């Protein structure tokens, strides 16, 4: 019995070797992203954007292996091991959350593989922990918060009430806002991660003397906060990063989000041919408007394709230079990579509007032009 099992196994391995032999010249991309459980919407958008770009490129020599990390760091680490050890991928991408990225990226790059981030940009990977094989196609985590601070200055606010969940990304966000906001801070609040009732915080906002509220509450937390805030009758204007005003969740927030200003490096109405074509084809393919995350997945794939046009992954130095050049038509318009391989780009201020029955965003101004990140100087590369 045991021998038979071994025989079957040997046959299976032989078959796998043959397949690998035929597919020798192909580039294999491993995508680890969140497709089940809470937060699956973000991963699905990144995946759909990425696959759309691969499809439009018409290249059949790029094979993408997609796997679901369930938003669990240990599963993500295990998937990365699997993709490198048994699938033999050349490039990894897809991770949504900073904590998962911190668990996976250092070991991936240490093994000589490339990683292109379509979303998470933790400060450690932009500063001291930067790596020649790590590229971030979206933003450094602080960027959109810094932009919110800059926008608050230009809007003439002088006293902000700021709040975020009590976890590292939350702290980074408030630090990012304060880095550029020149006014005073009325109060600084850390809420529980996953908190859904913000009555206590809103009461404090009401009692404060602030002229503006900055908040970073991703996912369901932001929906809850905005609904309760608009119902409370407090009319101090609110600003935030794009995460709580993204296409995916805006419909769930509804009227409560109307008129709120948020900052983003991408918007559906950025006026360039690539973006117009992307929005149209995404809608045609999937039957919904693309989100920020979809645009980031789309850009990450096009960045990869542009590099593959110039060099093979096997030639690591040439491939790295090709990635660094970022010569492709991004949906956000032109941007370039800084020395730490994070984007130097324009960040817009958008306002939530209603188009027919659908809530969406409209650009109302520019918060930053050619904005880099605060950690680049710490990167020795």
Residues at the contact surface with other proteins, assessed by CB under 8 A: 2, 6, 9, 13, 35-38, 40-41, 44, 67-68, 72-74, 77-78, 81-82, 85-86, 98-99, 102-103, 106-107, 110, 122, 166-169, 171, 188-194, 196-197, 199-200, 203-204, 206-207, 219-221, 223-224, 227-228, 231-233, 248-249, 251-256
Query: Could you give the dihedral angle defined by the CA atoms of residues 168, 169, 170 and 172, in that order, rounded to the nearest 10 degrees?
Result: 90
Give me the least distance between CB of 70 and other proteins, in Å please.
Answer: 8
DSSP-based three-state secondary structure for 78: helix
Question: Parallel, antiparallel, or unpaired: how do β-strands 238-241 and 114-117 relate?
Answer: unpaired
DSSP-based three-state secondary structure for 208: coil
When the beta carbons of 247 and 264 are compared against other proteins, the nearer one is 247
Q: Answer yes or no: are the C-beta atoms of 42 and 71 closer than 8 Å.
A: no
Give me the least distance between CB of 195 and other proteins, in Å please.
Answer: 8
Give me the least distance between CB of 176 and other proteins, in Å please.
Answer: 15
Give me the least distance between CB of 6 and other proteins, in Å please.
Answer: 7
When the beta carbons of 187 and 281 are compared against other proteins, the nearer one is 187
* Helix pair angle (273-286, 40-57), 10° resolution: 110
Question: Parallel, antiparallel, or unpaired: how do β-strands 336-337 and 212-215 relate?
Answer: unpaired
When the beta carbons of 224 and 366 are compared against other proteins, the nearer one is 224
Give me the least distance between CB of 72 and other proteins, in Å please.
Answer: 5
Report which DSSP code applies to 192.
P
When the beta carbons of 103 and 300 are compared against other proteins, the nearer one is 103
Question: Parallel, antiparallel, or unpaired: how do β-strands 261-264 and 212-215 relate?
Answer: unpaired
Give me the least distance between CB of 20 and other proteins, in Å please.
Answer: 12
Give me the least distance between CB of 240 and other proteins, in Å please.
Answer: 15
When the beta carbons of 128 and 362 are compared against other proteins, the nearer one is 128
Strands (E), the chain: 27-33, 62-68, 91-93, 114-117, 134-136, 159-165, 184-191, 212-215, 238-241, 261-264, 336-337, 343-355, 358-371
DSSP per-residue letters across 20-48: HHHTTT-EEEEEEE--SSTTHHHHHHHHH
When the beta carbons of 156 and 233 are compared against other proteins, the nearer one is 233
* Residues shown for the chain: 381
When the beta carbons of 23 and 200 are compared against other proteins, the nearer one is 200
């Amino acid at each position: 019995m045991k021998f038979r099992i071994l025989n079957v196994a040997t046959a299976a391995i032989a078959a796998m070797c043959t397949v690998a032999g035929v597919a020798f010249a192909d580039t294999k991309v491993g995508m680890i992203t969140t497709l089940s459980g809470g937060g699956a919407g973000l991963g699905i958008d990144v995946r759909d954007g990425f696959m759309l770009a691969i499809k439009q490129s018409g290249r059949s020599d790029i094979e993408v292996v997609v796997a679901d990390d369930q938003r669990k760091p240990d599963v993500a680490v295990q998937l990365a091991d699997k993709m490198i050890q048994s699938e033999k991928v050349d490039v990894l991408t897809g991770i949504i959350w900073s904590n998962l990225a911190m668990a996976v990226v250092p070991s991936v790059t240490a093994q000589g593989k490339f990683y292109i981030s379509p979303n998470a940009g933790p400060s450690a990977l932009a500063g001291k922990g930067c790596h020649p094989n790590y590229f971030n196609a979206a933003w450094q985590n602080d960027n959109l918060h810094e932009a919110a601070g800059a926008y608050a200055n230009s809007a003439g606010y002088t006293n902000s009430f700021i709040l975020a969940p009590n976890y590292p990304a939350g702290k980074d966000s408030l630090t990012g806002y304060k880095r550029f906001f020149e006014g005073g801070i009325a109060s600084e609040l850390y809420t529980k991660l996953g908190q859904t009732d913000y009555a206590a915080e809103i009461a404090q906002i009401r009692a404060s003397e602030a002229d503006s509220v900055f908040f970073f509450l991703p996912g369901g937390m932001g929906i809850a906060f905005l609904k309760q805030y608009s119902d409370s009758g407090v009319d101090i204007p609110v600003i935030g990063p794009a995460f709580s005003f993204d296409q995916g969740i805006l419909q769930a927030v509804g009227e409560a989000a109307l008129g709120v200003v948020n900052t983003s490096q991408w918007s559906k109405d950025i006026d360039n041919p690539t973006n117009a074509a992307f929005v149209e084809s995404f809608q045609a393919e999937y039957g919904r408007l693309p989100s920020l995350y979809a645009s980031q997945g789309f850009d990450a794939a096009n960045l990869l394709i542009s590099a593959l046009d110039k060099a093979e992954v096997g030639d690591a130095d040439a491939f790295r230079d090709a990635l660094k050049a970022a010569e492709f038509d991004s949906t956000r318009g032109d941007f370039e990579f800084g020395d730490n391989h994070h984007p130097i780009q324009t960040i817009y201020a958008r306002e939530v509007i209603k188009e027919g029955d659908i809530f969406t965003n409209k650009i109302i101004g520019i918060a930053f032009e050619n904005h880099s990140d605060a950690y680049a100087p710490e990167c020795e590369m």
